[in-house]
């Protein structure tokens, strides 16, 4: 049986800052040896050469080694996924996941939910029923087989990612794919060196444009997630990055130069583990779809009015996690935009700033996880949204 999860969001005060993680551990809010995953945003360019991801990764791992009993080699196996680029109002931050020993004071008040998909009113969480019977957040992690440069953009990568997703589901104690609400991956992209390596071994690669390979790696990983969860059948290789109707509603895929296989973090709800957190998801249909974010928060368990306001959240949203993509037709709600034609500012940065503003307006909090390059992740021009909420009793 998986253990209950503790989740905390911390700011990054500068590019290599992990002081707030140190503070949480020192205060006893988290145990360094119980940290199982970190998902965060750094302030770099989000591109192939975004060194801020490496700096943040090093800072967080050094804290976990210094504050715990695990060796550097053991800490190196913890999935720490950094998405570069905090364009617009998005604030650099990290969401830290740790296991927590079951405790009556930490357990969430029970809900009347009949299934994980039900929405649950916090106002109705006053029953004295056993809290462990309620669906609560569980997190699992896996690493795929090594991803070769020639795998990226091809069915070999889909197969390897799908296998890792299934392994991470098992680690989280999730048997029903409908209980999965968020799958975060980090996969390798192509560099000049890895392209040359493939050629030396007699192989071709999907693209020799290293920047484009970021989109390809993300999109192929998303198809692997969709296959693992039964959202789609195994696609033909020709459909990769071309048939945007093939997608996952829970995939959030990122890529970088700092690894050679897929890191996979699966987050969903499991009954019987206790804890105070719950996760839900929805999709944004386009870049302005605030209702998609509100739907994810409702799906996580908060009862909201028809026209909600950030004040209605009562500080219970730990974080929201979004993927975004400029629509392939260059339109939003019937109006033309110039993102895909702009030679001065890449569309990655423009759409990220746009959706980050929408998400921050919904939550009233600029520390939102918004990641770009959402091929095969939600509908074209939109993207998946996951929300983690705290259903515990208020102090």
Mean pLDDT of 86-101: 94
Interval 47-65 mean pLDDT: 95
Distance separating alpha carbons of residues 129 and 303, to the nearest angstrom = 20
Q: Would you say residue 125 has pLDDT above 50? A: no
Residue 256 has pLDDT above 90, yes or no: no
User: Is the Cβ–Cβ distance between 386 and 296 less than 8 Å?
Assistant: yes
Q: What is the mean pLDDT of residues 335-359?
A: 97
- The tokens for 341 are 């034609």
- Which pLDDT belongs to residue 131? 56
Q: Is 186 a catalytic residue?
A: yes
Closest CA to 250 of 83, 122, 374: 374
Span 380-392, pLDDT tens digits:
999 999 999 999 9
86 contact partners, CB below 8 Å, separation of at least 6: 41, 42, 43, 92, 356
Three-state helix/strand/coil letters over 71-128:
CHHHHCCCCEEEEECCCCCCCCEEEEEEECCCCCCCCCCCCCCCCCCCCCCHHHCCCC
* Residue 100 banded pLDDT, cuts 50, 70, 90: confident
Provide φ and ψ at 43, rounded to 5°.
-95, 20
pLDDT of residue 258: 78
Q: 228 exposed, middle or buried (CB, 10 Å; 0-12, 13-18, 19+)?
A: buried
Statement: residue 332 has pLDDT above 80: yes
CA distances (Å), origin 257, targets 21, 62, 210:
25, 20, 10
- Whether residue 82 is predicted with pLDDT greater than 60 in this model: the reply is yes
Query: What pLDDT score was predicted for residue 105?
Result: 46
pTM for the model: 0.91
Q: How confident is the model at residue 257 (pLDDT cuts 50, 70, 90)?
A: confident
pLDDT > 70 fraction of the chain, expressed in percent and rounded: 92
Cβ burial of 147 (10 Å; 0-12, 13-18, 19+) is buried
pLDDT tops 70 at residue 177: yes
**Which candidate in 213, 217, 254, 282 is catalytic?**
254
Segments of 206-287 assigned E as strands: 251-256, 261-271, 277-284
Each residue's pLDDT tens digit, 160-171: 999 999 999 999
Percent over 90 (pLDDT), the chain: 88
Choose, from 3, 160, 186, 352, the residue flagged as catalytic. Answer: 186
Quick check: 47 pLDDT over 90?
A: no
Mean pLDDT of the chain: 92
Does the pLDDT at position 283 exceed 50? yes
Compute the distance between CA of residue 114 and CA of residue 230 in angstroms, rounded to an integer: 23
């Amino acid at each position: 049986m998986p253990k209950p999860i503790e989740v905390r969001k911390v700011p990054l005060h500068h590019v290599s800052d992990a002081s707030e993680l140190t503070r949480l551990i020192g205060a006893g809010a988290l145990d360094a040896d119980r940290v199982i995953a970190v998902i965060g945003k750094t302030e770099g360019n989000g591109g192939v050469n975004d060194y801020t991801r490496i700096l943040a990764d090093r800072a967080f791992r050094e804290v976990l080694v210094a504050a715990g009993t695990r060796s550097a080699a053991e800490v190196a196996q913890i999935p720490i996924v950094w998405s570069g680029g905090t364009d617009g109002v998005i604030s650099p931050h990290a969401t830290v996941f740790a296991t927590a020993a079951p405790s009556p004071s930490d357990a969430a008040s029970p809900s009347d939910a009949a299934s994980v998909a039900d929405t649950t009113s916090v106002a109705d969480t006053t029953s004295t029923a056993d809290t462990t019977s309620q669906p609560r957040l569980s997190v699992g992690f896996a690493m795929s087989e090594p991803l070769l440069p020639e795998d990226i953009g091809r069915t070999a990568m889909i197969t390897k990612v799908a296998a890792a997703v299934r392994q991470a589901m098992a680690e989280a104690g999730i048997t029903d794919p409908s209980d999965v609400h968020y799958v975060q991956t980090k996969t390798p992209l192509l560099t000049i060196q890895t392209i040359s390596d493939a050629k030396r071994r007699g192989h071709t690669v999907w693209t020799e444009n290293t920047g484009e390979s970021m989109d390809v790696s993300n999109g192929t990983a998303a198809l692997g997630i969709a296959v693992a969860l039964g959202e789609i059948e195994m696609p033909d290789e020709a459909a990769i990055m071309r048939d945007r109707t093939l997608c996952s509603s829970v995939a959030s895929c990122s890529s970088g130069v700092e690894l050679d296989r897929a890191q996979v973090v699966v987050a969903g709800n499991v009954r019987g583990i206790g804890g105070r957190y719950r996760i839900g998801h929805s999709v944004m249909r386009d870049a302005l779809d605030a209702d998609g974010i509100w739907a994810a928060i409702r799906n996580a368990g908060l009862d909201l009015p028809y026209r909600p306001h950030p004040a209605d959240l009562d500080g219970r949203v730990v974080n929201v996690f979004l993927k975004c993509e400029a629509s392939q037709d260059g339109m939003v709600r019937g109006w033309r935009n110039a993102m895909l034609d702009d030679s001065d500012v890449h569309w990655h940065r423009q759409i990220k700033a746009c959706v980050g503003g929408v998400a921050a307006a919904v939550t009233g909090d600029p520390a939102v996880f918004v990641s770009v390059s959402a091929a095969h992740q939600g509908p074209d021009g939109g993207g998946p949204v996951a929300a983690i909420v705290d259903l515990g009793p208020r102090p």
